[in-house]
Amino acid sequence: MASSSKQASRFPSVDRVARSASAQALARAYGRTALVEAIRAVIDGHRARTGGGGHEPPGDGQIEVEVAERLQARSTPALRRMFNLTGTVLHTNLGRALLSEAAVEHAAMAMRQACNLEFDLDSGGRGERDALIEDVLTELTGAEAATVVNNNAAAVLLVLAALAQGREVVLSRGELIEIGGAFRIPDVMRSAGVRLVEVGTTNRTHRKDYAGAIGPDTAALMKVHASNYKITGFVAEVAEADIAAIAHAHDLPFVVDLGAGSLIDLAAYGLPKEPMVSEAIAAGADVVTFSGDKLLGGPQAGLIVGRKPLIDAIKRHPLKRALRVSKMTLAALEATLLAYRTPDRLVGDLPTLRLLTRPLAQIEAQAAGLRAAVAAALGPAWRVEVAPVSSQVGSGSLPADVIPSAALALSPVGAKPGLALKALSDTLRGLPIPVIGRIAEDRLLLDLRCLEDEAGFRAQLDQMAAAPR
């Protein structure tokens, strides 16, 4: 006990460490309060270990190093930049759509300066924040009115609560999708206070199923685009125009949830066809909901367009204020939507469309140019090859369609693939800018479809030397 007390007394005081030149530099960088707290925490940690015996008290220099490391770790943001080399362009876990430079600049303006978020510059009175994007949204979709909330699930929730709370909504059994994270359409309906009426079967639904389900408590007919899976074979579904006709014959609104919801014909860019918002409106949909951060290529948002009386009712619902978006989201969304007014420049302006349409030959050339450098960084314990792979859109969009791409395929030489690939994946995640690929067929694949900052990727190749041998 006496020996332990003697060792504990050999620790420097907090004040002594704080007066050192290196500590003073840390105080200027992080503040004196944070510095003192870090010194105390480091010394207390060593004291606790010394009390158990077998631990030599550290010198002032070691304490200062640990304090600096602690302060740096505590001030480093948890949200970090990454290289998305998974092959999934709209990766939910990696942030989905990348914003255009115009969207980033417009959002930065809204953060730095006062702006007319809810101020009418013409009248000098209070304005409505949705008015900032309503005109361009109605122009692009053909709808009469529009509003916006914080994501598409919220959009569906709000539409159902505003138009059908306490009543029934008719939906095909084959469209009872799970959006992700166990978030399901039936759950959204229950949360909105709506009773779901399922019609048809998983694979086949007909016009008579919708017509036969309409009763005195029916508030709306609904169609949900099954964007994250596809049923093939003996299938049948009712076209939007036909469901709209049935709904309107009974004076009911027809609601369409498009999920990803494209504003343009992707087929014109050599991509698989995806339902367009304007097509749903033209087919007779009274309300359409879709996402802002998927195929639209903007920030996370849930967009609602449709007939003005219905949109007005949706805007008046109490949930609308709870689900409204911030000025940063509105600014980024407005800039993204404005890009659609110049379709000839859209590929260059929107990162999502640019990455999805990136020429295969360009990706293959990039892979060939990087192969030798990556091989040199990893050393002889790893084989590095250029391999053909398939990218995907992601975030539930076009689940059955893939886009040809090229990857660097990394495989261990003379080692068990499982452990070696996991260790290499861990190493790449630990780089200053983490590199995220995917493991398949005993290889770590770095799909280069989304690699635009090649210089940044090359700059940290030498740090791959820490990869397992």
Say whether both 299 and 157 belong to one domain: yes
Say whether both 239 and 330 belong to one domain: yes
Residues in the chain: 469
Say whether both 393 and 451 belong to one domain: yes
- Within a domain: 138: yes
Query: What pLDDT is recorded for position 389?
Result: 96
Say whether both 316 and 364 belong to one domain: no
Could you tell me the CATH number of the domain that includes residue 395? 3.90.1150.180
Query: What pLDDT is recorded for position 2?
Result: 46
Tokens of 449: 């479809």
Per residue in 179-221, pLDDT (tens digit) is: 766 678 889 999 999 999 999 988 898 999 999 999 999 999 9
| Residue 196, helix vs strand vs coil | strand
Query: What pLDDT is recorded for position 99?
Result: 97
* pLDDT-based confidence at residue 178 (cuts at 50, 70, 90): confident
pLDDT at 250 over 90: yes
Say whether both 395 and 305 belong to one domain: no
User: Total domain count for the chain?
Assistant: 3
Could you tell me the CATH number of the domain that includes residue 324? 3.40.640.10
Say whether both 328 and 433 belong to one domain: no
Say whether both 140 and 249 belong to one domain: yes
Query: What pLDDT is recorded for position 399?
Result: 62
Q: Mean of the pLDDT values across residues 241-270? A: 95
- Within a domain: 15: yes
Query: What pLDDT is recorded for position 236?
Result: 85
Neighbours of 181 (CB within 10 A): 8
> E-strand spans in 159-318?
168-172, 178-180, 183-184, 195-199, 218-224, 254-259, 287-291, 302-306
d(CA 312, CA 175): 27
Tokens of 463: 């740090």
Say whether both 304 and 335 belong to one domain: yes
Per residue in 392-423, pLDDT (tens digit) is: 998 666 666 789 999 999 999 987 888 999 99
- Within a domain: 39: yes
Helix, strand, coil share of the chain (percent; to 5): 45, 20, 35
Q: How far apart are the first and last CA of the chain?
A: 47
- Within a domain: 439: yes
Query: What pLDDT is recorded for position 1?
Result: 46
Nearest one of 216, 300, 280, 223 to 250, comparing CA atoms: 216
Q: Mean of the pLDDT values across residues 139-162? A: 96
d(CA 171, CA 210): 8
Query: What pLDDT is recorded for position 467?
Result: 53
- Report CA torsion sign: 108, 114, 116, 122: negative
Q: Mean of the pLDDT values across residues 368-393? A: 95
**Chosen domain end from 40, 75, 110:** 75
* Predicted model pTM: 0.90
Q: How far is CA 48 from the centre of its chain?
A: 43
% of the chain residues with pLDDT over 90: 78
- Within a domain: 42: yes
**Chosen domain end from 326, 349, 372:** 349
Say whether both 196 and 309 belong to one domain: yes
Lowest mean pLDDT among 70-84, 174-188, 272-286: 174-188
Lowest mean pLDDT among 85-89, 329-333, 413-417: 413-417
- Within a domain: 259: yes
- Within a domain: 95: no
Q: Which residue range forms the structural domain that includes residue 316?
A: 101-349
Say whether both 187 and 282 belong to one domain: yes
Q: Mean of the pLDDT values across residues 324-353? A: 96
Average pLDDT, the chain: 91
Q: Mean of the pLDDT values across residues 151-158? A: 95
% of the chain residues with pLDDT over 70: 93
- Report CA torsion sign: 72, 77, 78, 82: negative
Query: What pLDDT is recorded for position 294?
Result: 93
**Chosen domain end from 294, 328, 349:** 349
In angstroms, what is the C-alpha Rg of the chain? 28
Say whether both 345 and 360 belong to one domain: no
Say whether both 163 and 310 belong to one domain: yes
- Within a domain: 96: no
Query: What pLDDT is recorded for position 387?
Result: 97
Per residue in 44-55, pLDDT (tens digit) is: 988 888 765 556
Lowest mean pLDDT among 69-73, 220-224, 455-459, 465-469: 465-469
d(CA 250, CA 230): 31
